[in-house]
């Protein structure tokens, strides 16, 4: 699903403006200094708006890297 990948890249670029295009696919909670709890809330808000999904609080701990979020969105959007 290349479209999903591109759209998620755009979301990351908006929330983490310091990340370069090559860095975004490797971004994770531990590798990006500005990825703190406030950034997580902003990122989740953007994802919910952009992809029309609702992320339950219990799922937050799973969403700690670009790859994991991409997998999560694939599962959510294919389930829908």
Partner 1 sequence: MKLIEALKILREALPPDAEPLTVFLACGFMPGHLETFLAAHLRRLCPSKAVTMETGLYGDLAGSLGRLTTSSAQAAAIVIEWPDLDPRLGLRSLGGWRPEQLPDILATAQARLRQYLDGLAAAAGRMPVALLLPSLPLPPFAHTSGSQMSPVAAGVQQAVATAAAEAAQMDNVRLANPQRLDARSPLGGRLDAKSELMSGFPYAPAHADAVAELLVSLLQPPAPKKGLITDLDDTLWRGILGEVGVDGVSWDLDHHSQMHGLYQQLLHSLAEAGVLIAVASRNDLALTQDAFARPDRVLPADRVFPMEVHWGRKSESVARILDAWNIAADSVVFVDDSPMELAEVGAAYPDITCLPFPTRDDQAAYALLEQLRDLFGKERVSDEDGIRLGSLRSASHLREHTTAGTDPDRFLADAQATLALDFSKAPDPRAFELINKTNQFNLNGRRLGEAEWQARLAAPDTFLLVAAYEDKFGPLGKIAAILGRAEASGPVVDTWVMSCRAFGRRIEHRCLEHLFAKLDAETIHLDFAPTERNRPLQEFLASFLGAVPEGGFALSHAQFAAKCPPLFHDVKEPSVA
Q: Which residue ranges make up the site for partner 1 (CB under 8 A)?
A: 10-11, 14-15, 17, 37-38, 41-42, 45-46, 48-50, 54, 56-57, 60
Residue 65 CB, nearest distance to partner 1 (Å)?
Answer: 20
**Could you tell me the smallest distance in angstroms from the CB atom of residue 34 to partner 1?**
13
What residues have CB less than 8 Å from 26, skipping those under 6 apart?
66
Smallest distance, Å, CB 52 to partner 1?
12
Q: Which is nearer to partner 1, 38 or 80 (CB)?
A: 38
CB of 9 or CB of 74, closer to partner 1: 9
Exposed, middle or buried: residue 12 (CB in 10 Å: 0-12, 13-18, 19+)?
Answer: buried
Q: Which residues contact 74 (CB under 8 A, 6 or more apart)?
A: 1, 4
Nearer to partner 1, 46 or 74 (CB): 46
Tokens representing 22 are: 């090559």
If you ran DSSP here, which 8-state letter would residue 28 be given?
Answer: B
């Amino acid at each position: 699903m290349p479209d999903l990948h591109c759209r998620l890249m755009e979301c990351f670029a908006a929330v983490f403006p310091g990340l370069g295009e090559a860095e975004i696919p490797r971004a994770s909670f531990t590798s990006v200094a500005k990825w703190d709890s406030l950034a997580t809330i902003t990122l989740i808000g953007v994802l919910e708006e952009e992809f029309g999904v609702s992320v339950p609080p219990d799922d937050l701990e799973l969403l700690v890297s670009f790859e994991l979020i991409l997998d999560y969105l694939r599962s959510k959007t294919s389930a829908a």
